[in-house]
Amino acid sequence: MSFIRKIVQPHSDEDAELYNELKKLLDFSPKKINKYKKAFTHRSVQMTDKNGIPINYERLEFLGDSILGSVIASYLYKKVPKGSEGYLTQMRSKIVSREHLNELGKDLGLIRFVKSNVDQTNVGDNIHGNIFEALVGAIYLDKGYDFAQKFIYSKVIVPYVDIEKLEGKITSYKGLIIEWCQKQKKKYSFDTYEDSGNETIKHFSVKISIDGELVAKGRATSKKKAEEQASKRVYYTFQNQISNS
């Protein structure tokens, strides 16, 4: 038993602290602590291994995204036996949306583990979801699929997945507005342009016109966010018409 403990438990004080925090968060004892350290390393640290391969969470994020998607797909397949392929795909997209994953990462406080040379106020919200996916990837490499699945069930499905509520959740206001305009044979345009002004952080603005009339504007730090912001305003302007169409 003592021999096993020496293999499993970390050697440095820093590793020991991370090990104890992860044990509380994951509800199991992690083995390969380096997998988790990699999951919390931002590319700005510019670390590489002995072969010159970058050490950061991006590859683990890719892996975790795939595992998360497969677990959610399996859950929905069993939970909604009458759901069509399109319905199941839409529901999975809502559960693993970037917005939802960012909320999960924030709720779990994963940012506290991150090593980065960029100030936390400048990394953007998506880092929370990215780290969550990387953590799932690390769990898979450390303990296998079953442990990753149990983690997803306990941290995602049980506390957050409500099928009825998700059915009515809008994941893309822009997509909804475009679909409505096409259905109603309305002409629409998204005029997006850079609008940083005197600010150091780049901003984008968007104007949405329907049938030649300006309906809403939006401004944010990315084109997608600005378009979603403006589209949400269009939605509330035409909410009754859209709901009844």
* pLDDT tens sequence across 19-50: 999 999 999 999 999 999 999 999 888 888 88
Q: Select from 142, 143, 150 the least CA-distant residue to 71.
A: 150
The CA R_g of the chain, rounded to the nearest whole Å, is: 22
Round to whole Å and give the CA distance between 185 and 173.
18
Q: Select from 218, 211, 171 the least CA-distant residue to 191.
A: 218
> 81 or 170, which is more confident?
81
Regarding whether 139 and 185 lie in a shared domain, the answer is: no
Give the H or E element holding residue 156: none
Regarding whether 179 and 85 lie in a shared domain, the answer is: no
The question of whether 119 is a catalytic residue gets the answer: no
* pLDDT tens sequence across 61-95: 999 999 999 999 999 999 999 999 988 988 898 89
Regarding whether 150 and 233 lie in a shared domain, the answer is: no
Can you read off the two tokens belonging to residue 210? 């329907």
Task: Assess whether pLDDT exceeds 70 at residue 6.
Answer: no
Half-sphere exposure (CA, 13 Å, Cβ side) for 224?
Answer: 5
Mean pLDDT of 104-114: 93
The question of whether 213 is a catalytic residue gets the answer: no
Q: What is the CATH number of the domain that holds 200?
A: 3.30.160.20
Q: What is the CATH number of the domain that holds 18?
A: 1.10.1520.10
The DSSP secondary structure of 12-64, one letter per residue, reads: SHHHHHHHHHHHHHHSS--S-HHHHHHHTB-GGG-EE-TTS-EESSHHHHHHH
Regarding whether 23 and 144 lie in a shared domain, the answer is: yes
Regarding whether 186 and 119 lie in a shared domain, the answer is: no
Beta-ladder partners of 74: none
Regarding whether 132 and 13 lie in a shared domain, the answer is: yes
- Does the pTM of the predicted model rise above 0.85? no
Question: What residues make up the domain containing 132?
Answer: 2-167
Last residue of a domain, one of 144, 167, 190: 167
* pLDDT tens sequence across 181-210: 998 999 999 999 888 776 677 889 999 999
Regarding whether 60 and 161 lie in a shared domain, the answer is: yes
Q: Which residues contact 32 (CB under 8 A, 6 or more apart)?
A: 141, 142
Evaluate whether 136 touches 64 at the Cβ level (below 8 Å): yes
Round to whole Å and give the CA distance between 206 and 36.
40
Q: Which of 61, 65, 227, 228 is catalytic?
A: 65
Round to whole Å and give the CA distance between 56 and 38.
5
Mean pLDDT of 157-167: 87
Task: Assess whether pLDDT exceeds 50 at residue 2.
Answer: no
Last residue of a domain, one of 167, 195, 227: 167
Q: Select from 165, 163, 178 the least CA-distant residue to 242.
A: 178
Evaluate whether 92 touches 161 at the Cβ level (below 8 Å): no
Regarding whether 221 and 122 lie in a shared domain, the answer is: no
Q: Please state the domain count of the chain.
A: 2
Evaluate whether 10 touches 19 at the Cβ level (below 8 Å): yes
Can you read off the two tokens belonging to residue 113? 């583990």
Half-sphere exposure (CA, 13 Å, Cβ side) for 144?
Answer: 1
Q: Which of 61, 133, 142, 227 is catalytic?
A: 133
Give the H or E element holding residue 181: helix 173-183
Regarding whether 184 and 202 lie in a shared domain, the answer is: yes
Round to whole Å and give the CA distance between 110 and 122.
16
Last residue of a domain, one of 132, 167, 202: 167
